[in-house]
Amino acid sequence: MLHPEATWWVLGDPIRLGVSGFRNRAGAERLLKAANKSIPGGMTMIVHSITSERDRVAIEVEGEGVWHDGRKYHNQYHFLITIRNNRIFSVREYMDTLHIDDLTKPNNDHDNDLATCNV
């Protein structure tokens, strides 16, 4: 699904929020694994709209799930995806970073891979 040269960028300051910033394909794969570990039951993605033009797809999504410690996860996303050779070449992910920050703060006594997934 990911192009060999895929990149993934997440909104926010990577110094303040480990999930934020730019990643190459290997970093994107680590990010997705960390997300799966944080929401072990998986996330329900509710697609509100999709717009495509040439090699770009814009998707508005709501994500819901249960955080690994039982807290509710509910976030809104906008993904801007570029396709090359029928594979995902780049992803730009916009979301409520405050919600992620609240769930991953070290002082909340919950271990979490997303909090430190700087790659």
pLDDT score for 105: 75
Q: Which residues contact 83 (CB under 8 A, 6 or more apart)?
A: 55, 56, 57, 89
Q: Which residues contact 37 (CB under 8 A, 6 or more apart)?
A: 68, 113
- Coil, helix or strand at residue 64: strand
Number of domains in the chain: 1
Question: Domain range spanning residue 96?
Answer: 2-116
CB atoms within 10 A of CB 8: 23
How much is the pTM? 0.84
pLDDT tens digit sequence for 10-21: 999 999 898 999
Hey, what are 34's tokens?
């960390």
pLDDT score for 37: 93
Task: Identify the segments of the chain with pLDDT beneath 70.
Answer: 106-119
Q: What is the CATH number of the domain that holds 26?
A: 3.10.450.50
